[in-house]
Amino acid sequence: MFNDFFAQFWPQTIDGLAFGSIYALIALGYTMVYGVLRLINFAHSEVFMIGTFGAMYVPFALGINSPLTGVALVGLVVAMIAAGALASAGTAAALERIAYRPLRKRGASRLAALISAIGASIFLQELFALLIIPTVFDRPERGRIQMGLPRIMERTELFSIFGHKVMAHQVFVVVSALLMMILLERLVNRTKIGRGIRATAQNPEAAVLMGVDINKIVQMTFLIGGAMAGVAGALYLLAYENTNYYIGFLFGIKAFTAAVLGGIGNLRGALVGGIALGLVENYGAIIFGSDWKHVISFTVLVLVLMFRPTGLLGESLQQARA
Amino acid sequence: MNQKNAMSNIRSAWGGFTDRLHHAWAVAPWWQRWAVYILLIVAALLLPSDSLAPIMSPYSDWASVLFFPIGTFVVLAIGLNVVVGQAGLLDLGYVAFYAVGGYAMGLLGTRLGWNFWEILVVGILICALSGVVLGAPTLRLRGDYLAIVTLGFGEIIRITARNTDAIGGPNGIRGIPHPPSIEGVELFGIQIFKYGVLDPRPYYYMLVALAVVVIILVKRWEKSRVGRAWAAIREDEDAAEVMGVPTFRFKMLAFAIGASIGGAMGVVWAAKVISLNPNDFLFLLSATILAAVVMGGAGNLPGVMLGAFIVAWLPERFRGLQEYRMLIFGAVLVALMIFRPEGLLPSRQRKAELKEGSGGMGSLGAEVAGPEAKPEVVEGASK
């Protein structure tokens, strides 16, 4: 068992980092919405799913099905990320508008919001399985079957670590995710909108009295969180080259676990939690076998909530001082 | 604006009607209530009639549909209502207990050759125990966190069942025995105790009996000290604790009772279906049962049963729409939460809680009354 562990340690670490950064990007959406609304945006998983399909649409529409190089590759990757982010941000904003805002206006309970989110989640999954995948992606009768992305990024070895190859696409995922995180950190800490988000998270009443337009801030929070999930979707698609209408469920729960692990409401916590979960999951998979990978994540979730519900970093968005 | 007025008029008219009904029921003498109970049971027993079948279920066998999903959902919803509606604990992994019951029937029946009735008793005990085992670590959490952890546990149980070859792995269990039949007991030409493969009606009658027992027990609990403790916990856990309610113990009890009911249903269901596999216990089932509870009006037993009936029956009735039914179901859930978050037949107490915005679970943050938020018309005030 331990020989296996050491033999697979580095490849699994690298893979865990790549998966972890995708979890982290999705976790940002959970964390931001939770920080502002005290709401677990249960339908965020579908926002991620739609991001993968948004990114898929670009090569599909352009009819690209062979690896690209140079400027063409960079252009396509940027376009895919942008398309994913756009599709997801739009979905998240629509969700807020249709499924949450009316409830918020009535002062409904969080249980009602959760049910609304579950309903929206089922609706979006079925919408893709029944209508969008068969028509937009021209796959009649195959809406529920996994859809592959033709290889766009050549699988090249970038460098090796203790004799184990590190592939370019893995580095690309981690670096892009980190870049997005830095961007978001700056957005939240340095801009007017970011200040509004922090103010609302700290104390909504006081924020309103200070002239913060709370509806706009909530909308922006959903937009930004959605865009992050869309980027995550595009990165996942580029690196792992498949998606389906149901993909959001597992990623959603794991990203939520990551958010809780890092401390929900805490932006850096999402990063730490995501990476930690990606690694723990993969190390666990070496020991117990990859069938148990998901069980390991859920167990981590349960253990964290039991013993340290404030997460690893604890400090939350509303406590972060301006 | 006019439309909005019309909406609220309809709403308050409906509210007035249910209020009056509620009142009439509360002051009715005991024999009238018992007459209604017996009428309802007789109606339930007469439901699988051939004359109803073409209206209720033109696409599949009506009696089978009555057993699963309708009857099954109703019993599961009653069980989940104890946890969600009465104790206010949001459980998204309820299907786990149903699965434990189903697997108990499957394993004890095929491996050890136990009799259905023995398994029913043991299965209920196993499920109560598993409720306690799952509850002990998780019930210190509240609200959304509890919801996610229970969801996690539900998935852990399903994936563990799938990965464990000793209990059939992904193929599940086959050849689960039926309950022992008593031949010759005939009523209106139906062998009511003959548990075979062909006729689903005996199973349905058994299910009705189970439902009646469960309803009586749940009603008694609700009216007892236990029920009051649950209501106190649901409304304000800290206040309940301060007032001397041992909240943790009562939450565990709610979990164990909910689990036992889910488990009993799992045993009965498994005894009919012959084979089961881990994919019978997907998260979607938990979500659907929860939707039934909330849709009907969490905390109010008739409402919850109505909700379960609708949630189970509509997709079967409109099988003609085939795959679109889940799409519509999702949209209906969202619409319902927007227009009637308290459910179709809400309990009065819950309605009051929701109006305060607490709903027993805290309201959304950032719900500050802006200039556009108007105070809602008090329901029933217009009369």
Tell which A residues from 93 to 122 touch B, by Cβ distance under 8 Å.
Answer: 98-100, 102-116, 118-122
pLDDT at B370: 38
The rounded mean pLDDT for chain B is: 83
Q: What is the pLDDT of residues B332-374, one digit of tens each?
A: 889 988 888 777 887 776 666 655 544 444 455 444 433 333 4
Query: Which residues lie closer than 8 Å to A104 by C-beta, 6 or more apart?
Result: A37, A113, A218, B364, B366, B367
- Give the residue with greater pLDDT, B177 vs B351: B177
pLDDT at position B382, please? 38
B333 to A118: CB separation less than 8 angstroms, yes or no:
yes
Q: Which residue of A has its CA nearest to B138?
A: A306
**pTM: predicted TM-score of the whole model, two decimal places:** 0.86
Q: Identify the pLDDT of residue B378.
A: 40
Residue B372 is predicted with a pLDDT of 39
Nearest residue in chain A measured CA to CA from B350: A109
Best CA proximity match to B169, nearest among B47, B279, B48? B279
For residues A241 and A273, what is the distance between their CA atoms, to the nearest angstrom?
24
Q: Which of residues 86-115 of B touch A (CB under 8 A)?
A: 90
Instruction: With beta carbons under 8 A apart, name residues in chain B contacting A103.
Output: 337-338, 341, 364
> Between B141, B155, B327, which is nearest A126 by CB?
B327
| CA distance readout (Å), B249 to B135, B177, B375 | 10, 37, 39
Q: Any CB–CB contact under 8 A between A177 and chain B?
A: no
pLDDT of residue B297: 83
pLDDT of residue B373: 38
Give the Cα separation of A37 and A27 in Å (integer): 15
Of A50-54, B16-20, B44-48, B103-107, the poorest mean pLDDT is in B16-20
Task: Nearest by CB to A208, from B159, B360, B368: name it.
Answer: B368
Determine contact, residues A44/A94, Cβ cutoff 8 Å: no
Q: What is the mean pLDDT of residues B185-212?
A: 83
Asked if B330's CB is within 8 angstroms of A121's CB, the reply is yes
Q: Tell me, yes or no, if A203 comes closer than 8 A to chain B by beta carbon.
A: no
Spatial separation of the C-alpha atoms in residues A257 and A48, rounded to whole Å:
15
Query: Cβ of B337 and A103 within 8 Å?
Result: yes
Confidence (pLDDT) at A176: 95
CB contact under 8 A, B152 and A298: yes
For residue B159, give the nearest of A107, A295, A301 by CB distance: A295
Nearest alpha carbon to residue A231 among A70, A58, A73, A50: A50
* Tens digits of residue pLDDT in B245-280: 999 999 999 999 999 999 999 999 999 998 999 999
pLDDT given for residue B144 in this prediction: 72
pLDDT of residue A221: 95
Least CB–CB distance from A302: residue in B137, B147, B338: B137
Q: Complex ipTM, two decimals?
A: 0.86
Q: What are phi and psi of B300, to 5 degrees?
A: -110, 115
Residue B381 has pLDDT above 50, yes or no: no
Distance from CA of A254 to the nearest CA of B (A): 10
Confidence of residue B61 (pLDDT cuts 50, 70, 90): confident
- Please tell me the predicted confidence (pLDDT) of residue B361: 44
Torsion of CA A260, A265, A267, A272, to 10 degrees: -20
Interface check A246 vs B, CB under 8 A: no
> Which chain B residues contact residue A100 at CB under 8 A?
364
**Yes or no, beta carbons of B138 and A306 under 8 Å apart:** yes
Say what the pLDDT of residue A115 is.
83
Residues 29-48 of A with CB under 8 A from B: 36-40
Closest-CA distance, A200 to chain B, in angstroms, reads 7
Higher pLDDT, residue B383 or B59: B59
Task: List chain B residues with CB under 8 Å of A109.
Answer: 341, 353-354, 357-363
CB contact under 8 A, B140 and A306: yes
For the cut 70, the answer to whether the pLDDT of residue B127 exceeds it is yes
**Is the pLDDT reported for residue B377 higher than 60?**
no
More confident residue, A107 or B106: B106
Residue B30, pLDDT score: 85
- Would the CB atoms of B364 and A36 count as touching at under 8 Å? no
pLDDT in tens, B275-302: 999 999 998 899 889 988 988 888 889 9
The region of weakest confidence among A142-156, B130-144, B176-190, B269-283 is: B176-190
Asked if pLDDT for residue B1 goes beyond 90, the answer is no
Closest listed residue to residue B207, CA positions, set B76, B36, B34: B76
User: What residues in A contact B365, CB-CB < 8 Å?
Assistant: 36-39, 204
3-class secondary structure for B253-317? HHHHHHHHHHHHHHHHHHHHHCCECHHHHCHHHHHHHHHHHHHHCCCCHHHHHHHHHHHHHHHHH
**Candidate from A110, A215, A305 with C-beta closest to B364:** A110
A206 touches chain B (CB under 8 A): no
> Each residue's pLDDT tens digit in chain A (322 positions)?
667 777 788 888 999 999 999 999 999 999 999 888 888 898 999 999 999 999 999 999 999 888 888 899 999 999 999 999 999 999 999 999 999 999 888 877 777 888 889 899 999 999 999 999 999 998 888 888 899 998 888 888 888 877 788 888 999 999 999 999 999 999 999 999 999 999 998 888 899 899 999 999 999 999 999 999 999 999 999 999 999 999 999 899 899 989 988 888 888 889 999 999 999 999 999 988 888 988 998 888 888 877 877 777 765 554 443 3
B331 versus B10: which is more confidently predicted? B331
